[in-house]
Structure 1
Amino acid sequence: MISLNRRTVLRAGLGVGVVAAASAVAGYEVLGSSSTPPVWQPPAPVRAAALDKRKLLVIEMAGGSDGLSMTVPYADSRYRELRRRTAIAADKVHVVDDKLGLHPNLPKLAAAGATLVPGVGTAKPDLSHFEMLHRWQTGDPEGRLRAETGFLGRLCDHLGDPSAPAVGVALGVGSSQALACERVTTLSVDAGNDGLFPVFDDENVRGAWLAAQRAMAHPDRLDAPLFATARAGSAAALRFSDVAATLSPAATGYPDSDLGIQLRLAARLLADDSHGLRIVHVPMGADFDTHSNHTEQYAELMTDLDNSLAAFRQDLAARGIADRVLIAAYSEFGRRVPDNDSGGLDHGAAGTALLLGPTNSGVAGEMPSLRALDADDNLRATVDMTEFYATLAESWFGVPASDVLPGSPRPLPGVVAV
């Protein structure tokens, strides 16, 4: 018999109940749409709010985002020598400093400002998506510990109240290892349903369905462990759905993409102070695995990222919480430095991460050398993933990095604007 206790349910992210209900509904109405979105303007610089007011949004760009296309080493002739098919012209980038420039399709990000962290990775990289995603989600740089909890989940355990409906939420289909925890509740929801469990056009049908679900979620002392676990998952999903139903209205101006829909709900969740939420994890649905036709595919990805982040930051500012939300974005690895014969880029090692919000704009850490590649022609990491994560834990939340990460990694200095 499989025995699952409450801790096991929490570690699993409680995503099953929410996702199962959401996937049973065919179609939904996108809320907050408008034919006249507000005019975008770069947000004013902000300094970080008090520690107990701070929240975090993490975007996972799965598939292996090419850091050399996001942050282009436009001044280095070696870049153009190695990338004869996919190099971006120096006069097309948005200049950050005398070495790096942002991708041409990131004009709003360039205008709004960001902290760029090139060369993020591990000393012993792996070229497998599955393995590197697992390492990033668990905060285990070499994949040796095989932790049952996730890095974000451990942060939630430190920050959150066990009685809260959810301290961490993943906006995606399926439970998130990144939010697996021991002490508090975390869960996954379908952003397309605005966190509701579920959406029906007929309110009478929805009312009857919810009544039945609440009855089935009520615990019974005679339940077998597996059935008790199922009840607990449904109860958590229903409880969070009740929270989602009370959120402030959705803002306009977001692109009609998966990321736009995810960030629109994220802003509403982060603006709510009454239910204990501290962290939102956004697994980006787009595919960054550009083995062929990289130039065109990556340009589309950057356009979506730029427009979605711009709308999100404008939304946070309008809600008066821009100083309270740090935005972090990473990918499990970068791409190989030389391009291939298909106009694409194969799996690499170190990549580029982003930090936006109450941060000091510019470049944090050291750009990897294009003249000292590893044996596979990949960038060598100059910033360990644990140093990037230590910045989120210690510099942003005030949680000692050693409490949530292996070893004693140091945060990147001077990132948070205080």
Structure 2
Amino acid sequence: MVSVNRRTVLRAGVGAGVVAAVGGVAGYQLLGASDAPRRWNPPAPIKAAALDKRRLVVIEMAGGSDGLSMLVPYADSRYRDLRRGAAIAAGQVHAIDDTLGLHPDLEGLAASGVSVIPGIGTAKPDLSHFEMLHRWHTGDPEGANRPDTGFLGRLCDHLGDPAAPAVGVSLGTGSSRALACERVTTLSVDHGNDGLFPVFDDENLRSAWLAAQRAMAHPDRTDPPLFAAARASSAAALRFSDVAATLPAAADGYPDSDLAIQLRLAARLLADDNHGLRIVHIPMGADFDTHTGHPARYALLMRELDAALAAFRTDLAARGIADRVLIAAYSEFGRRVPVNDSDGLDHGAAGTALLLGPTNPGVHGEVPSLRRLDADDNLRATVDMTEFYATLAESWFGVPASEVLPGSPHPLPGVVAA
């Protein structure tokens, strides 16, 4: 179905065998190899392509991904006290530095390099999935402005050609407010059909159906506005389907997951410059709402994310476009810091976002403190969502952040490897 539509943080140093306790952070003793975190050694970053060649893939990890499990403060005793049985041991993480490490199942990201933004959120969080997703989709951090367009849609309006079949595409079932725009075409595409609309086993049936749809999509000047919009929507869907039929072949090597199928199609779309596509939005179908059994469930989620991203980045490199594609992943909020009585984590506030591609690996922005939680035992945001979005707009695409976001947010410095 298709529808139109800074800060840099300074951290405590380490002694020969013990992480120093600074500002109340009690260190852990390196008693042996099993206790020591696995050190990552990412390769040198690839340099970003010219601005007009750059593309963006945004992965939405809906449900509320736990930032403290994705980026583990392994040297902080407060983390272990609050998380009890859900804490990840220091010896299991992929250490980025002397205090922070990636989840054990993010092996591919640790090997290939990733930029991590902890403490991302808003000064006035809401614990509702629907409200926070709306804010992320529209780029409205406090939910006060309620814009008609989405943040990604406004970027598409700045970047794209109104004559292009699609400037932005969401690979999911149903439209996404994130891509709502004013002057260009953005679409939602069922990734299970590889962008084709529709798929029939019988070629004669498909040809007849398409002929009928093309006839119905033809505009008539007597149409009332709603009918004209419906015709235009069908025409845009059919036009994009014609483009999808000519895409480069799909690559092998992807795992069998919904995210992998979405990313495999994204790679094919991004490899073809003929249709003017600049942004791909991917709503990840997995459930990050881990109120119960968090450790095991989150490990499965991280394995799925890691494997799909590894295959996608290999595909982009093989197609010669790895320097053109920035991958961003975010969740509408994080999880509460203390574990609940069901070995799970309830809705929280600040979370953790990822950026992959032509970026400088490491932690960017200020790490939130586990000793300055809010009244609900949630992490306080140290990076506003608009700063993250400003990095995508200004640092990646060269679009002034003030033209697509409220206020004048500053991008996070030093993320893009330009």
Report how far residue 181 of structure 1 moved: 0.2
**Unaligned residue ranges in structure 1 (runs of 5+):** 1-13, 19-41
SS of the equivalent of 1:170 reads: strand
**Superposition map of 1:192-231 within 5 A:** 192-231=192-231
CA contact (8 A) 1:43 1:313 kept: no
Cα distance, 1:85 vs structure 2: 2.2
Tell me whether 1:16 sits opposite 2:15 in the alignment.
Answer: no
Counterpart of 2:130 in structure 1: which amino acid? F
Measured in 2, the distance between the counterparts of 1:45 and 1:353 equals 18
Residues in 1 aligned to 2:207 and 2:167: alpha-carbon distance in whole angstroms: 27
Q: Which residue of 1 aligns with 2:268?
A: 268
Q: Residue 44 of structure 1: CA displacement?
A: 6.9
Deviation string 1:150-197 (CA, Å, 9 cap, x unpaired) is 000000000000000000000000100000000100010010100000
Residues 324-381 of structure 1: CA distance to partner in whole angstroms, max 9, x if unpaired? 0000000000000000000000000000000000000000001100000000000000
Residue type of the alignment partner of 1:102? L
Aligned to 2:19: none
Matching of residues 31-42 of structure 1 within 5 Å: none
Give the corresponding residue for 1:362. 362
2:407, 2:98 → 1: CA distance?
35
Q: Work out whether 1:382 is the aligned partner of 2:382.
A: yes
Given the superposition, is the C-alpha separation of residues 215 and 17 from structure 1 closer, same or farther in structure 2, using an over 3 Å criterion? farther
Match of residue 322 from structure 1: 322
Query: Alpha-carbon deviation of 1:17?
Result: 7.6
The share of aligned pairs that are identical, in percent, is 82
Q: CA deviation at 1:205?
A: 1.2
Moved over 2 A (4+): 14-18, 42-45
Is contact 1:43-1:314 (8 Å) kept? no
**Contact persistence 1:330–1:353 (CA under 8 A):** yes
Aligned to 1:7: none
Residue equivalent to 1:410: 410
Aligned to 1:156: 156
What residue is the counterpart of 1:56 in the other structure? Answer: 56
Task: Give the secondary-structure state (helix, strand or coil) at the position aligned to 1:372.
Answer: coil
- Aligned residues between the structures: 382
State how far apart, in whole Å, the 2-side matches of 1:183 and 1:252 are: 36
2:69 maps to 69
Alignment partners' CA distance in 2, 1:303 and 1:288: 13
Aligned residue in 2 for 1:3:
none
The Cα shift of 1:45 comes to: 3.3
Q: Which amino acid aligns with 1:101?
A: G
In structure 2, C-alpha distance between the alignment counterparts of 1:15 and 1:235, rounded to whole Å = 10
Secondary structure of the 2:104 match is: coil
Residue 90 of structure 1 aligns with which residue?
90
Q: Which residue of 2 aligns with 1:4?
A: none
Q: Alignment RMSD, CA only?
A: 1.2
- The answer to whether 1:179 aligns with 2:166 is no
**Cα deviation code 1:257-302 (max 9, x no counterpart):** 1100000000001111011000000000000000000011101100
Distance across 1 between alignment mates of 2:44 and 2:107: 16
Separation (CA, whole Å) in 1 of partners of 2:146 and 2:94: 40
Amino acid at match of 1:241: S
Unpaired runs of 5+ in structure 2? 6-41
8 Å Cα contact 2:4/2:187 also seen in 1: no
Question: Which residue number in structure 2 is paired with residue 31 of structure 1?
Answer: none
Q: CA deviation at 1:199?
A: 0.9
Judged with a 3 Å threshold, the aligned counterparts in structure 2 of structure 1 residues 409 and 144 are, in CA distance, closer, same or farther, namely same
Partner SS for 2:315? helix
What letter corresponds to residue 207 of structure 2 in structure 1? G
